[in-house]
Amino acid sequence: MEYSLSEILSSYKGTQGELIPILQKVQAEFGYLPEEAMNRVAEFCRVAESKVFGIASFYAQFRFVPLGRTQVTACRGTACHVRGAPQIVDELKRQLGIEEGETTPDLEYSLETVACIGCCALAPCLVINGKVESKMTPKKVKELLTKGGQV
């Protein structure tokens, strides 16, 4: 981690204005914001660690736990909501046994929700490892997740 972190930081000057872009880079590298990394960023930008944590916890993009190998992102946008997203999210929670924002203990799945992934015409939808699955029903969710454990 030390190496890639230094590499990320090397392209910045260490001003406060760079804090958010740096955290975005760090998360892109590690999949989440490890505590040591946040401390290093604080040192680098010469701000208190609490400031870095304050920013990271304010913005929805940042997370403090690693993601699962299979990332399930359900859309909670308005179009999806009126076409039944709540049932889809419930079914996902039931199938995976985790809440939104959580990762299964075996690091296999993580479940997140977002507002509108932009395919409202095909609502309700969800994204599994970057691939959009559209016109979902609770039944389809179950099928997707039980296809031999893989999706």
Contact partner, 112, from ligand FES, another protein, none, Cβ < 5-8 Å per class: none
How many Cβ atoms are within 10 Å of 71's Cβ, its own excluded? 16
Strands (DSSP E) found in 76-144 = 102-103, 109-114, 126-128, 131-133
**Facing residues of 111 across strands?**
72, 102
Amino acid type, 61: Q
Asked whether position 23 contacts another protein by CB under 8 A, the answer is: yes
- Which parts of 118-147 interact with another protein (CB under 8 A)? 118-123, 125, 132, 134, 137-139, 142
Shortest distance (Å) from residue 69 CB to another protein: 20
Per-residue mark of binding to another protein, 96-115 (x: CB under 8 A): ------------------xx
Residue 21 CA: distances (Å) to CA of 6, 61, 89, 96, 136:
15, 12, 31, 32, 34
Shortest distance (Å) from residue 131 CB to ligand FES: 14
Cβ nearer to another protein, comparing 3 with 28: 28
Cβ nearer to another protein, comparing 2 with 104: 104
Asked whether position 63 contacts another protein by CB under 8 A, the answer is: no
Beta-carbon contacts of residue 97 (< 8 Å; ≥ 6 apart): 104
